[in-house]
Amino acid sequence: MTRMSLNCPMPQMNYDIITLGHGSGGLLTNRLLDQMIFDLFSNPILDERHDGAVIQANGPIAFSTDSFVVSPIFFPGGNIGDLAVNGTVNDVAMCGAIPQYISLSFIIEEGLKMTEFWEILLSIKHTCDAAGVQVVTGDTKVVDKGKGDKIFINTTGIGAMHPKANIHIQNVQSGDKIIVSGHVASHGMAIMSVREGLSFETEIESDTAYLNHTIKTLLDEFGTDIHLLRDPTRGGVSTVLTEIAKVRSLGVEIIENNIPILKQVNAACELLGLDPLYVANEGLFVAIVSNDQAESFLHRLRQLEFGEHAAMIGEVVSDHPGQVLLKSAIGGRRVLNMLVGDQLPRIC
Amino acid sequence: MKYLSEYRDPHMVKEYIEELNQIVTRQWKIMEVCGGQTHSLVRNGLLEMMPSQIEMIHGPGCPVCVTPLGLIDKAIYLAEQDNVILCSFGDMLRVPGSEKSLLQAKAEGAEVRILYSPLEAVKLAKETPEKEIVFFAVGFETTAPANALSVIHADRLGLKNYSILTAHVLVPPAIEAVMQDEESHIQGFLAAGHVCTIMGMQEYYPLVDKYKIPIVVTGFEPVDLLQGILMLVRQLETGRTELENQYSRVVRENGNPKAIETILQAFEITDREWRGIGTIPESGYQLRENYASYDANRKFDIQQGEVSESEICIAGEILKGIKKPKACSAFGKECTPEHPLGAPMVSSEGACAAYYHFSAITSSESIASK
């Protein structure tokens, strides 16, 4: 994915930067909303211009919220805008739901360039369209220079549960197979590569992506054979697996050699002494699938959007309950634990 | 990855393990000096794969672990000054001082930055003339050239707002300290490959002669480590005491002369306190007199109260290989990577943290009995 260009012309604004007045609720706020947001995201619910959105819901719904504070706000493979949409869309999808609507809240530090804000808005729009979700409510606040860091975004997503979904950690059984949907550790290392003091010869791109269409197809076809779905963001794959092992009092065994990772990402991890299994992902999911269906699930996933590099990395076992064991590349074993503290701060 | 995958080849690993099994006839205590080697042994599951007669003792070669409490307090004190930006390698941030860690100080408003190179700190000093930039210069001989270069570079640029808080330690005196401790019964050493990449092998011949002990300069990948251990066990089994080089693809007899020259231009040897061990004579570097204005210790009037270590922590015995992490009553209980009582639990290269993170496979029975 390349950084979006400003091919959609920015509305004529009187200011080059966001000022405190743009968050005052007065004239400037209205102008900002009218000219930059309402037009771009126009849909019948948003066009009502209420403080909240009125939506139809039948049956169970999934509901998730997330705040995005990534630094820098533009990074290889994406920006804070598409990250904020993908992150919440994926959280709703991981519940076994089909995300439909999102809210969009900005906390902007005064001084943010209008052109940067517009670029973020465009990529939010682009990602919402691609993921098939609508922005139906939102908010904009502006804080003094130095009291924020350019822009923070909160998104909340809502979606109806897929009728065939039965995603519960309690459904995880001994014998289930563990499948990851693609290369691990790309997002965290992409952010790391643009932090001060580091530069790599090859560019590493974030994997930020909406996974809802892929998840929906898999739920259509595999239904209750999918026991658990998780997106391993902060804390990485390791943290997801550790949680499963602890909560279910089952063991997890994974094979280091089966874990898909891009060559340049692996090299960067080696160089910086980071374990890729603890590095964040933003367009990846871990699926725990019944033993019977695991092979066909993997085969199907590899044909779907963002799933071509999927791999089966291990299984759930009854031995060593509560522990995740990794069979190392050379045939040794080690225990994986949850991450203590942050390996890399502010990556999403 | 070229030059990496070859050294993680499972077939070679298997061959070395088999050969070790064939030649080992009795119990041997071997110390890997370097924390990077400890980390690799545990991370790759090598300890479990090796013959039970070979006991690996994890040495004091983790700079984060041996940096004295008082110096960490100094770094925190400096970071808390309004006009100071304290720069450090990431690992030092979680190390607890006597009251808090640099990370806690950062949360309270101190300006602390994680950098991967001291030269970045010099750049920061140039770009931020209104602030004092202090680099927390920890490490063994490996990081010394870059830290020395940062001072030389700052001096050339005429920067007045750059200094380093030095905590440099040296490997050979640490080996001596271990050998002189009557309680440690180490029979052979794996010397740290990267330290020798800089310093070469010359300093190790006198140790071999004086203590009649085999030393093998060893790398960090699984195949490196097993080959190093095999070379050492062959010596032990045949009664030889020699200095050998397993890591010959990187380590030269004379090391890296340019790097050594850079070190000696900026640093001189001094006595150094090691956390958990005490003061070891001539075991560290400090800046030479002509670079004194770049020495944060001399540049700033640092206020410091009494410092005292946790009473239950047995870090010293662990660093000298007298005890294993699991022999500590606080291991995994009062002392965890989240709440470390002592330094070896802090850094991922510390022996306690390495054990905590990577070993301890429980069987179904031991969980059931809890």
Q: What is the pLDDT of residues A288-330, one digit of tens each?
A: 999 999 999 999 999 999 999 999 999 999 999 999 999 988 8
Over 70: is that where the pLDDT of A345 sits? no
Instruction: Give residue B4's pLDDT.
Output: 74
Condensed to tens digits (0 to 9), the pLDDT of residues B332-359 reads: 888 988 788 887 887 766 788 877 876 5
Residues paired with residue B101 on neighbouring β-strands, in sequence order:
B96
Chain B stretch 218-257, residues whose beta carbon is closer than 8 A to a beta carbon of chain A: 222-223
Contact A312, A294 (CB under 8 A): yes
Over 50: is that where the pLDDT of A27 sits? yes
B363 at A interface, C-beta within 8 A: yes
Neighbours of B118 (CB within 10 A): 27
Instruction: Give residue B355's pLDDT.
Output: 78
Of A263, A267, A329, the CB nearest to B8: A329
For an interface test with A, the pick among B49, B224, B358 (most A C-beta atoms closer than 10 Å) comes out as B358
Condensed to tens digits (0 to 9), the pLDDT of residues B261-293 reads: 999 999 999 999 988 888 999 999 999 999 999
Residues in chain B within 8 Å Cβ distance of A327: 45
Average pLDDT over residues A50-71: 93
Distance CA B129, CA A112 (A): 26
Tell me, what amino acid is at B258? Answer: K
Contact A273, A194 (CB under 8 A): no
Contact A117, A36 (CB under 8 A): yes
Instruction: Give residue B368's pLDDT.
Output: 33
Q: Are strands B188-192 and B162-169 parallel, antiparallel or unpaired?
A: unpaired
Instruction: Give residue A342's pLDDT.
Output: 57
Contacts of B160 (CB under 8 A, 6+ apart): B293
Contact B330, B345 (CB under 8 A): no
B38 at A interface, C-beta within 8 A: no
End-to-end CA distance of chain B: 43
The alpha helices in A206-293, defined as continuous H runs, are: 212-222, 236-248, 263-272
Total H helices, total E strands in chain A: 10, 13
Residues in chain A within 8 Å Cβ distance of B338: 340-341
Chain B stretch 92-151, residues whose beta carbon is closer than 8 A to a beta carbon of chain A: 94, 103, 115-117, 120
Instruction: Give residue B199's pLDDT.
Output: 97
Instruction: Give residue A15's pLDDT.
Output: 86
Q: Which of A286, A287, A245, A281 minimizes the C-alpha distance to A265? A: A281
Question: How far does the CA of residue A337 sit from the closest CA of chain B (Å)?
Answer: 6
Of B116, B120, B367, the CB nearest to A322: B367
In this prediction, the answer to ipTM > 0.90 reads no
Instruction: Give residue B238's pLDDT.
Output: 97
A151-161 β-sheet, strand order: A61-68, A151-161, A97-109, A134-143
Condensed to tens digits (0 to 9), the pLDDT of residues A126-171 reads: 999 999 999 999 999 999 999 999 999 999 999 999 999 999 999 9
Of B120, B336, B363, the CB nearest to A196: B120
Q: Which of B370, B338, B343, B329 minimizes the C-alpha distance to B357? A: B338
Residues paired with residue A229 on neighbouring β-strands, in sequence order:
A287
The domain ranges of chain B are 5-58+172-245, 65-170+255-299, 315-359
Of B45, B115, B360, the CB nearest to A328: B45
Instruction: Give residue B353's pLDDT.
Output: 82
Average pLDDT over residues A270-284: 90
- How many residues are recorded in chain B? 370
Of A263, A325, A330, the CB nearest to B222: A330
Are the Cβ atoms of A197 and B117 closer than 8 angstroms?
Answer: yes
Q: In A, what residues contact B, Cβ < 8 A?
A: 196-198, 249, 263, 266-267, 270, 272-273, 318-323, 325, 327-335, 337, 340-341
For an interface test with B, the pick among A330, A338, A343 (most B C-beta atoms closer than 10 Å) comes out as A330
Q: Which of A214, A99, A197, A116 minimizes the C-alpha distance to A157? A: A99
Question: How far does the CA of residue A4 sit from the closest CA of chain B (Å)?
Answer: 30
Question: How far does the CA of residue A319 sit from the closest CA of chain B (Å)?
Answer: 6
B339 at A interface, C-beta within 8 A: no
Average pLDDT over residues A264-281: 89
The domain ranges of chain A are 20-161, 169-336
Contact B353, B341 (CB under 8 A): no
Is the N-terminal amide bond of A72 cis, ω within 30° of 0?
Answer: yes
Reply yes or no on domain A20-161 having CATH 3.30.1330.10.
yes
Q: Pick the residue with more confidence: B361 or A37?
A: A37
Residues in chain A within 8 Å Cβ distance of B350: none
Over 70: is that where the pLDDT of A62 sits? yes
Instruction: Give residue B352's pLDDT.
Output: 87
Tell me whether domains B5-58+172-245 and B65-170+255-299 share a fold.
yes
Domain A169-336, CATH number (from 3.40.50.300, 2.40.30.40, 3.90.1150.10, 3.90.650.10): 3.90.650.10
Q: How many CB pairs under 8 A join A and B?
A: 81
Of B42, B49, B362, the CB nearest to A323: B362
Helix (H, G, I), strand (E, B) or coil at A256: helix
Question: How far does the CA of residue A322 sit from the closest CA of chain B (Å)?
Answer: 8
Work out whether the CA dihedral B52, B54, B55, B61 comes out positive or negative. Answer: negative
Helix (H, G, I), strand (E, B) or coil at A209: coil
Residue by residue, pLDDT tens for chain B (370 residues) are 566 778 888 999 999 999 999 999 999 999 999 888 988 888 888 988 999 999 998 888 888 788 888 899 999 999 999 999 999 988 788 788 888 889 899 989 999 998 888 999 999 999 999 999 999 998 899 999 999 999 999 999 999 999 999 989 999 999 999 999 888 889 999 999 999 999 999 999 999 999 999 999 999 999 999 999 999 999 999 999 999 999 999 999 999 999 999 999 999 999 999 888 889 999 999 999 999 999 999 999 887 766 777 788 888 888 777 888 888 999 988 898 878 888 788 776 678 887 787 655 554 333 333 3
Q: Are strands B84-88 and B132-139 parallel, antiparallel or unpaired?
A: parallel
B360 at A interface, C-beta within 8 A: yes
Are the Cβ atoms of A335 and B359 closer than 8 angstroms?
Answer: yes
Using alpha carbons, list the distances in angstroms from residue B334 to A237, A250, B292, B339, B345.
Answer: 28, 26, 41, 7, 11
Instruction: Give residue B365's pLDDT.
Output: 35
Over 70: is that where the pLDDT of A11 sits? yes
Over 70: is that where the pLDDT of A23 sits? yes
Find where tokens 């570079």 sit.
B153
Instruction: Give residue B1's pLDDT.
Output: 59
B291 at A interface, C-beta within 8 A: no
Distance CA A174, CA A241 (A): 13
Are the Cβ atoms of B45 and A330 closer than 8 angstroms?
Answer: yes
DSSP for residue A277: G
Are the Cβ atoms of B361 and A332 closer than 8 angstroms?
Answer: no
- Domain B65-170+255-299 belongs to what topology? Rossmann fold (3.40.50)
Using alpha carbons, list the distances in angstroms from residue A251 to A242, B45, B75, B80, B361.
Answer: 9, 18, 42, 45, 11
May I ask the CATH architecture of the domain B5-58+172-245?
3-Layer(aba) Sandwich (3.40)
Residues in chain A within 8 Å Cβ distance of B367: 249, 320-322
